[in-house]
């Protein structure tokens, strides 16, 4: 199912049309591609052409609603990733929740997409915001120091490496576990979202502490062809260094019918990171153009600037993402697509694809090396079907 993410992925349930259905709906996406990927750079750290089959954020979900009377409706959703290129397992690891909706808005509890992640996906030019060209390759990563998400207990230890063919996005671009969120009604196209991430415990009775907690807020305007939003995500990891991280994101899009334009600015920050304050800005521009009613050209350019440590630039720590592609619809539910994407890392950087990483920073290259300063590129040919 092709979705337009707004302040929360769940906010689409706030329409009265969805609440009229008391039955359970089964839906999903089957998206697979044949990829040829490569790491180039230092001759000792190169990974030549590698082929693979990837299932790009494929999913299966179940959702429903029940009218309770007095203007209240119970809503639920269980959604699982499906990696059908290998022996994957199902689980409620995507947006999964239960909640109540009414004239006051919607309140949900569970595993949730916050407004910051939703905004990043909304301005991405790729259908489903997935594949090797996705903008999550650069957004919010802060020099690859904020990769990954909280563990099953809700704790975040930080991350800087990604295995081959894995998801390699920032903590701000993953779903929040142990979360509760409120989505307001829309007022002339304007609505707000507030999400809170709860910590599991604070070393209660000698248990290992899981003190990561935070909030994610967003304000969005969507009316006709225009969309604009601003989000702010702040997280306290609760570790011994009292590391605090945050992300400010401003973005929007304008749909002109035959074409669309998208833009985003992202500022990630970490306080008490090795005793320092570290920030990084990322800028992105994207566009789509309908060549025919069934065929669309897509392209985007993202630039991650050098890290700033206590206000001074750390040289050669940035990167650039370039993507061009075409999407051709065979029907309303089935699409062929082709994408070429490249990440050009500066000399001291090792960014990887956000979806289906190549493994530039895993230490798995010859001699246990990382291809710092290397270039990651790939060609992807795929088929996407929604149901």
Q: pLDDT tens across 263-312, in order?
A: 999 999 999 888 899 999 999 999 999 999 999 999 999 999 999 999 99
Residue pair 179/196 in contact (Cβ under 8 Å)? The answer is yes
**pTM of the full structure:** 0.89
pLDDT at residue 11, as a whole number = 43
Query: Which tokens hold the place of 83?
Result: 């990696």
Stretches where the chain sits below pLDDT 50 are: 1-21, 43, 364-369
CA trace torsion 281, 196, 112, 240 (10° rounding) = 70
- Return phi, psi of residue 183, to 5°: -115, 120
**What end-to-end distance do the CA atoms of the chain give, in Å?**
6
Residue pair 58/132 in contact (Cβ under 8 Å)? The answer is no
Q: Is residue 4 part of a domain?
A: no
Q: DSSP 3-state assignment of 363?
A: coil
What would you report as the CA-atom Rg of the chain, rounded to the nearest whole angstrom? 20
pLDDT at residue 156, as a whole number = 76
Q: Is residue 2 part of a domain?
A: no
* Number of domains making up the chain: 1
Q: Is residue 3 part of a domain?
A: no
Tell me, what CATH number does 335's domain have?
A: 2.40.160.10
Q: pLDDT tens across 27-78, in order?
A: 999 999 999 999 987 545 567 788 999 999 999 999 999 999 999 999 999 9
Q: Is residue 1 part of a domain?
A: no
Q: Domain residues for 59?
A: 9-386
pLDDT at residue 19, as a whole number = 41
Q: What is the largest CA-CA distance in the chain?
A: 68
Q: Is residue 189 part of a domain?
A: yes
């Amino acid at each position: 199912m092709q979705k337009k993410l707004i302040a929360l992925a769940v906010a689409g349930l706030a329409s009265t049309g969805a609440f009229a259905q008391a039955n359970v709906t089964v839906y999903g996406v089957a998206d697979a591609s044949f990829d040829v990927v490569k790491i180039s750079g230092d001759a000792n750290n190169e990974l030549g052409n590698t082929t693979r089959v990837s299932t790009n954020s494929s999913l299966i979900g179940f959702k429903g609603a029940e009218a309770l009377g007095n203007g209240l409706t119970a809503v639920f959703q269980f959604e699982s990733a499906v990696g059908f290129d290998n022996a994957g397992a199902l689980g409620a690891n995507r947006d999964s929740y239960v909640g109540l909706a009414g004239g006051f808005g919607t309140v949900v509890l569970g595993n949730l997409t916050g407004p910051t992640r939703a905004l990043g996906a909304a301005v991405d030019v790729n259908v489903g915001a997935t594949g090797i060209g996705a903008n999550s390759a650069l957004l919010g990563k802060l020099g690859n120091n904020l990769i990954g998400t909280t563990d099953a207990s809700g704790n975040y230890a930080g991350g800087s490496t990604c295995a081959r063919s894995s998801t390699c996005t920032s903590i701000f671009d993953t779903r929040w576990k142990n979360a509760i969120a409120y989505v307001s009604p829309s007022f002339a196209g304007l609505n707000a979202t507030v999400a809170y991430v709860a910590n599991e415990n604070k070393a209660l009775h000698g248990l290992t502490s899981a003190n990561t907690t935070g909030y994610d807020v967003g304000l969005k305007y969507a009316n006709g062809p225009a969309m604009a939003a601003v989000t702010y995500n702040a997280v306290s990891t609760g570790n011994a260094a009292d590391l605090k991280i945050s992300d400010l994101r401003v973005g929007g899009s304008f749909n002109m019918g035959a074409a669309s334009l998208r833009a985003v600015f992202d500022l990630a920050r970490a306080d008490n990171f090795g005793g320092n304050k570290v920030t990084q800005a990322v800028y992105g521009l994207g566009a789509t153009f309908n060549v025919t009613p069934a065929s669309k050209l897509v392209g985007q350019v993202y630039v991650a600037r050098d890290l700033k440590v206590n206000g001074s630039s750390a040289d050669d720590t940035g990167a650039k993402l370039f993507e061009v592609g075409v999407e051709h619809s065979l029907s309303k539910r089935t699409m062929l697509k082709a994408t070429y994407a490249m990440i050009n890392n500066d000399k001291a950087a090792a960014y990887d694809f956000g979806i289906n990483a190549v493994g530039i920073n895993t230490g798995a290259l010859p001699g246990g090396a990382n291809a710092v300063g290397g270039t990651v590129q790939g060609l992807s040919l795929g088929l996407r079907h929604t149901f």
